[in-house]
Structure 1
Amino acid sequence: MSSLESFPPLPVSRNTAHAFRERAADGYTLGGFSWRHAVPDRNRPVVIINAATSVRCSYYARFAQYLFSHGFDVMTYDYRGIGESRPAAMRHFKASWTDWGALDFEAMLQRAAREFPGQPIDVVGHSFGGCAAGLAASADRLRRLVTVGAQFAYWRDYAQDSRWQLFGKWHVVMPLLTRVFGYFPGKRLGWLEDTPAGVVKDWSTMTPAYERRPSGRAHGQLPFARVRAQTLAISLTDDPFGTMAAIERLLGYFESSTRSHLRIAPADIDETQIGHFAFFHKRFEARLWPIALQWLQQGQLADDTPGRVVTLSVP
């Protein structure tokens, strides 16, 4: 697969993006960037980009600029423990996947409602970022949602030909190193960013019964069920995380949304590989980014969209 190491975080242009700080409900301060048009327009959507696990928001800067250039206001941010939201000390810093969605993404929804009053709110979620979209209490505000390779990192859903390699890396080595250091030292290994221990625990122990952890609430009582956004899940056939089973497992949680699943093979755009990370690389600006743009603009796919629309097996 295309690795994140091949596509390092990009500098965020201060000519168009403005840094901000936002306090979550529990008092933790998050950092991010906004691309805002000079003249407010209540009909202009604002797009929040939810990053993948332990990927800095700066990785999505060029994609954010692309959406901005096509008429959207845009916000990117880092989850607590990552990048612009990193604490002074990572060892034993407390954060979980639930915190990233229920507190951090929720804080961005609150900021969007305050800073862009009356404007529709859309989300682009990469990997865990698609999950985060369903964990916030205000998720019912979402108009449209595009996810890319979004799933729960449940190891049985990994691609069969790389399942045990991924299991060893992310479910054995990562938690062992986290136990030693008090956090996962991903940067020194070239494996994503340094990651809080609680997030590592969530990743390495995830099961399909996620909805029963940690709260024990029934499936329909989670915020996922309150999301009514027009939802497009984009998956890549060479993404070992985003298999059919993995993508549809998450889509099943968005039971109140209209859901479409677009599956793209690299050959569909005359490429040999795309993988889990490369969708947001600038070299795909002309071939992949318009798919997300079209959905955010119209809530539907263009007739010439590459790939195939999958008939969903989820109810």
Structure 2
Amino acid sequence: MINHGRGTEVAGVREMPNQALSVCLETDDGRLLGGFLWRHGGVAAARPIVIISAATSVRCRYYSRFADYLFLNGFDVLTFDYRGIGESRPKSLRGFRADWVDWGAHDLEAALAYAERTFPGQEIHVVGHSIGGFAIGLAPSNRRIGRILTVGSQFAYWRDYGEAERPRMYIKWHIVMPLLTRMFGYFPAKRLGWMEDTPAGVVRDWSRMKARFEHTVRQDLFIGGERESEIMQRRFTRVTAPMLAIGLEDDPHGTPAALNRLLAYFTSSHRHHWRIAPADIGVSSIGHFAFFHDRFRDSLWPLALGWLRAGEIPADAPGLLLDEATPGTTT
């Protein structure tokens, strides 16, 4: 049976490890999103559910092994694809309307609502990768979140890119990407081997991003006489969950400046900025994506597990604390 109702399981789709089920989420603006659910049997209010909020144009299947690891360590886990991506992709992206605000304000919001409805009484934690950490601040119900872990999370202000990689990244993401998007009506990233094909609105937000995100997104939209971007900015202050923001020293997207720029918006949260160098775990590289690779199950994932379980950084965790900010402060 295939049922595309609100938050229902969809049969007939290949299952993920450990009986992960395909699910369909419905957003408050009527979009259907595909995803996967790892669920333990029975009811357990003491068992948290973890939502994984993906990076830009990265399919939720990419996080399946990490989700399986969390499941095996006692969590229920929900992954989902933003509108326009992976399980949530329409037949054509040409002219498809979606931007970063949609991904947070509607899509992650749908995941939060589904978790609260399906797992009543269970605490909700969120893992945000890259833009997935930014999306947390945009979700209207973000105050429901109990604990937050982010990896390389920022909103792509180009001056924060790693100095050595900055010229190449600027050309790639702020010149080539928008040019190709204008030609095709979406960014055909998959045929370039860069990432999943990407809606034009997301490309617009990324390629034009300024030092303050509210000076970039939704500038022409007003709600009750106020710019929507300013309303979005205030939503970040609703987050009271403690945050562990992990940055990798060889990640040119997730530099200290980039992570701190985003963390400064979460003024009601206790924030920890943790840095890890590849040498800390005896490898040559980690970068922007590899934290979620299975080869780091024994070296990096216990740090995430310790934080999600108890809000603690394990004493033997690789890396060091770069910054810590308390509620009521921006840095």
Flag the 1:231–1:120 CA change in 2: closer, same or farther, 3 A: same
Is the 2:270–2:324 Cα contact (8 Å) retained in structure 1? no
Is 2:250 the counterpart of 1:238? yes
| C-alpha distance in structure 1 between counterparts of 2:95 and 2:135, whole Å | 22
TM-score, length of structure 2 as denominator length: 0.90
| C-alpha distance in structure 2 between counterparts of 1:89 and 1:180, whole Å | 15
Instruction: Give the aligned partner of residue 116 of structure 1.
Output: 119
| C-alpha distance in structure 1 between counterparts of 2:233 and 2:174, whole Å | 29
Measure how far apart 1:12 and its partner are: 5.4
1:37-92 deviations in whole A, cap 9, x for unaligned?
01110111000000000000000000000000000000000000000000111101
Measure how far apart 1:15 and its partner are: 4.5
Q: Structure 2: 5+ residue runs without aligned partners? A: 1-13, 219-226
The number of equivalent residue pairs is 305
| C-alpha distance in structure 1 between counterparts of 2:306 and 2:140, whole Å | 27
Instruction: Give the aligned partner of residue 291 of structure 2.
Output: 279
Is 2:321 the counterpart of 1:309? yes
Counterpart residue type for residue 140 of structure 1: R
Equivalences for residues 72-83 of structure 1 within 5 A: 72-83=75-86
| C-alpha distance in structure 2 between counterparts of 1:229 and 1:80, whole Å | 26
Alignment equivalent of 1:189, drawn from 185, 192, 197 = 192
Instruction: Give the aligned partner of residue 55 of structure 1.
Output: 58
Instruction: Give the aligned partner of residue 25 of structure 2.
Output: 22
1:249-308 deviations in whole A, cap 9, x for unaligned?
011011100100110000000011100000000000000011011000010101111101
Flag the 1:252–1:210 CA change in 2: closer, same or farther, 3 A: same
Partner SS, residue 160 of structure 1: coil
Flag the 1:282–1:178 CA change in 2: closer, same or farther, 3 A: same
Partner SS, residue 208 of structure 1: coil
| C-alpha distance in structure 1 between counterparts of 2:51 and 2:131, whole Å | 14
| C-alpha distance in structure 1 between counterparts of 2:30 and 2:233, whole Å | 26
Is the 2:93–2:186 Cα contact (8 Å) retained in structure 1? yes
Q: Structure 1: 5+ residue runs without aligned partners? A: 1-10
Instruction: Give the aligned partner of residue 303 of structure 2.
Output: 291
TM-score, length of structure 1 as denominator length: 0.94
Instruction: Give the aligned partner of residue 168 of structure 2.
Output: 165
Is 2:241 the counterpart of 1:229? yes
Alignment equivalent of 1:135, drawn from 128, 133, 138 = 138
| C-alpha distance in structure 2 between counterparts of 1:12 and 1:237, whole Å | 35
Which region of structure 1 is more displaced relative to structure 2, 218-227 or 191-200? 218-227
Greater RCO (Cα-Cα under 8 Å, separation 6 or more): 1
Partner SS, residue 275 of structure 2: strand
Counterpart residue type for residue 127 of structure 1: S
Instruction: Give the aligned partner of residue 104 of structure 2.
Output: 101
Alignment equivalent of 2:39, drawn from 27, 36, 40 = 36
Instruction: Give the aligned partner of residue 210 of structure 2.
Output: 207
Is 2:241 the counterpart of 1:259? no
| C-alpha distance in structure 1 between counterparts of 2:289 and 2:96, whole Å | 26
1:190-228 deviations in whole A, cap 9, x for unaligned?
010000000000000011221243235548952111000
Quick one: percent identity of the two aligned structures?
58
Is the 1:227–1:254 Cα contact (8 Å) retained in structure 2? yes
Flag the 1:54–1:299 CA change in 2: closer, same or farther, 3 A: same
Partner SS, residue 61 of structure 1: helix
| C-alpha distance in structure 1 between counterparts of 2:324 and 2:242, whole Å | 15
Counterpart residue type for residue 311 of structure 1: D
RMSD of equivalent CA atoms: 1.4
